[in-house]
Amino acid sequence: MALRIIDGFDYIPPGASFALVAQMLLAGGWYFQPGGSGYSVPGSYNGRFGGTCLEINQQASSPNPPNILRKIPGSTCVSGVVGVALQIGPALVAPFYIAFFDSSANAAQCSVSFHEYGIMNVWCGAPGSGTLLATAPIGTFVSGGWFYFEVEAVISATSGSLIAKINGVAVFSITGSVTQVTGHAYFDSILFAPQLTSAPTSYQIDDFYFLDLTGSVNNSFLGNVRVQTQFPAGAGATTDFTAVGASTNWQAASNTNLNDTTYNYDGTVGDLDLYAMGATVNAPLAYGVQVRGGYRQDDATEIVVVNVLRTGGTNYTGANYSLYETYTFDIDIWELDPNTSAGWTQSEINALQAGPKIISIG
C-alpha cells in the first residue's frame, strides 16, 4: 500500500465542543500536546468545500504551543508525501511548520516552515534549531485563503531530498542533502507545530493525505485533492444489529457525536450491519476509498470487529480490530476497487455499502 492516511475532518460535527473534537481526533489517530489557556482546536471552522476542518488557534497568552501529530499507521517510512489544504492567517505573526517526525527520538528529521508575507523555509531538523536548507521568497503562498501544499521527503544522512508544490506548481526541489537528524533513517509521524510561543498563530488544515513511495499506485504527488465524506443514507444488504436512539440502523450509524445516545449494538459472532452511503459529487477520479467505523465494547469481554466494504455485490473485509472501552475509529483504505482490481469510478463509489461485522467475542 502506498496511501496510508486520508482525512477530511468532515466527521467532526459543526459547532463541536473542544472535548468532542479532542475525543474524535484521538479516536482517529491524531495526538496533540495542549498549550496554555490561549489556544483552541475547535474543529467547527468551515472547510474549504463545506463541512468542517481542523483549526489551530494559538493566542499570545499561551505559554506552550499546541502541537498536532498524526502517527503513520503500519511500518516506519524512509520516504513519503504529505498533501494538505492550508488556510493561514490572514495575520500570521508566529510561524508554524510541518515536519517529518521521528517520535521514538522526539525530533523532526526535516521540516517546512510558513512565515509572514508568504515566505517559506526548508530545514534539516526543526526550524530555528536545525539547519536552514532553502528559502522560498515573499508571496510563495497567500495568507487568508486556501491553497494546497504537497511535500515529498526522503530521509538520509547523505543523500536526502525535499520537493514541494503549491496547487500543483513546484516551489522548491532540494536533492543530495542531509535530511536526517536522529540515529534513525526514517520517520513515523507527521507533525504540525507553531515555531514560536510569544505571538498569535492561526491556521486551518483540511483534505489531508499521506502516502509512502512504494507500490504501483498512489506513489507520488496526487495534486490538489479533496477528501469527501459519505455518511450512511439508507439500509444496506444486511441488517443484523439493533438500533438504539433511532428508528433505523443506518440513522443510528449516522451519529457524529461518537457517544451512546444513538448507536447500533450486537453480541453475536458473524453478525453484519451494512449501510448504503450518500453519493459523492464532482468526483470523476478517486485515489482510494476509506471506511471509518467508530466502535467500543461495553463490558470486559474482548470483541474483535472488521469494517466491511460491499462493492459489486460482494463483501470485502478490512483488518481485524480489537475494541477498547472508549470509542476509537477502525480505519481501512482500499486504493483500488477490490471487485475489479482497477481504479474507482464515481458510479462504483456511489453504489458502495459499508458497516461493521463481529469476528470474535471473548
* Least confident among 135-139, 237-241, 272-276: 135-139
Residue 337 lies in domain = 232-361
What is the rounded average pLDDT of the residues 354-362?
96
In this structure, the answer to whether residues 236 and 185 fall within a common structural domain is no
Within a domain: 227: no
Number of domains in the chain: 2
What is the rounded average pLDDT of the residues 177-197?
91
Does residue 145 register a pLDDT over 90? no
Within a domain: 223: no
In this structure, the answer to whether residues 244 and 170 fall within a common structural domain is no
Helix or strand or coil: residue 350?
Answer: helix
In this structure, the answer to whether residues 86 and 181 fall within a common structural domain is yes
What is the rounded average pLDDT of the residues 144-160?
96
Q: Which residues are CB-neighbours of 143 under 8 A, at least 6 positions away? A: 88, 89, 90, 91, 92, 116, 118
Helix or strand or coil: residue 22?
Answer: helix
Within a domain: 145: yes
In this structure, the answer to whether residues 282 and 328 fall within a common structural domain is yes
Instruction: For 45-56, write each residue's pLDDT tens digit.
Output: 888 988 889 887
In this structure, the answer to whether residues 187 and 256 fall within a common structural domain is no
Does residue 198 register a pLDDT over 80? no
CATH number for the domain spanning 321: value is: 2.60.120
Is residue 14 very low, low, confident or very high in pLDDT (cuts 50, 70, 90)?
A: confident
Within a domain: 134: yes
Give the model's pLDDT for residue 140.
95
In this structure, the answer to whether residues 165 and 295 fall within a common structural domain is no
At 196, list the grid cell.
Answer: 514560536
Is residue 21 very low, low, confident or very high in pLDDT (cuts 50, 70, 90)?
A: confident
Is residue 19 very low, low, confident or very high in pLDDT (cuts 50, 70, 90)?
A: confident
Within a domain: 225: no
Note whether 24 and 14 are within 8 A (CB).
no
Give the model's pLDDT for residue 22.
85
What is the rounded average pLDDT of the residues 160-165?
98
CATH number for the domain spanning 19: value is: 2.60.120.200
